[in-house]
Amino acid sequence: MGPIVLLGPQRLDPVVAEFVRAAGITGRIALLTAGWEEREAEDDELSAHLGGRTVNLGLYRRQEEILAAEAGLRAAIHAYDAELDTIRRHYRLRLGFALDAARALLNLGGDSPHLVLDRAGAIETVRRLDAELLTRVASLRAEVASRLRLPSHPLVARHKAEIRSLIDGCDAVAIAGGHVGVLSRVLRIFDLVDMLGTRPLFAWSAGAMVIGERIVLFHDHPPQGAGNSEVHDHGLGLFTGLLPLPHARRRLRLADPNRVRLFARRHEPRRLALMNEGSALVIDRGRIARHTKVRTVSLDGAVIDWPGPGSPGR
pLDDT (tens digit, 9 = 90+) per residue, 144-165? 998 988 878 899 999 999 999 9
The pLDDT score that the predictor gives to residue 152 is 82
Q: How far is the CA of 25 from the CAs of 52, 174, 179, 202, 262, in angstroms?
A: 13, 12, 27, 11, 41
Determine contact, residues 306/291, Cβ cutoff 8 Å: yes
User: In this structure, how many other beta carbons lie within 10 angstroms of the beta carbon of residue 101?
Assistant: 17
> In terms of Cα–Cα distance, which of 256, 258, 183, 186 is closest to 217?
183
DSSP the chain: ---EEEE---SSS--HHHHHHHTT--S-EEEE-GGGGGGTT--HHHHHHTTT-EEE--HHHHHHHHHHH-HHHHHHHHHHHHHHHHHHHHHHHHHHHHHHHHHHHHHSS---HHHHHHHHHHHHHHHHHHHHHHHHHHHHHHHHHHHHTGGG-HHHHHHHHHHHHHHHT-SEEEE--S-HHHHHHHHHHTTGGGG-TT--EEEETHHHHHTSSEEEE--SS-SSS----EEEEE---SS-SEEEEETHHHHS-TT-HHHHHHHHHHHTTSEEEEEEEEEEEEEETTEEEEEEEEEEE-TTS-EEEPPPTT-B--
What class, spelled out in words, does domain 4-68+154-305 have in CATH?
Answer: alpha beta
Are 34 and 178 contacting, i.e. CB atoms less than 8 angstroms apart? yes
Q: What is the mean pLDDT of each run of 10 residues along the chain (314 residues)?
A: 94 92 95 97 96 97 95 94 97 97 94 96 98 98 90 91 97 97 96 94 97 95 81 96 95 94 96 96 93 94 82 44
Q: Are 27 and 225 in contact (CB under 8 A)?
A: no
Question: Please, what is the average pLDDT of the chain?
Answer: 94
CA atoms of 219 and 248, how far apart (whole Å): 9
Closest C-alpha among 184, 183, 216, 209 to residue 9 = 209
The predicted pLDDT at position 173 comes to 98
| Predicted local distance difference test score (pLDDT) of residue 103 | 96
| Angle 39-40-46 from CA coordinates, rounded to 5° | 100
Beta-carbon count within 10 A of 136 CB:
16
The pLDDT value recorded for residue 312 is: 45
B/e letters for 291-308, b = 16+ CB within 10 Å, e = fewer, are: bebbbbbeeebebeebee
pTM confidence score: 0.93
Domain residue ranges in the chain: 4-68+154-305, 86-148
Q: Answer yes or no: are the C-beta atoms of 245 and 279 closer than 8 Å.
A: no
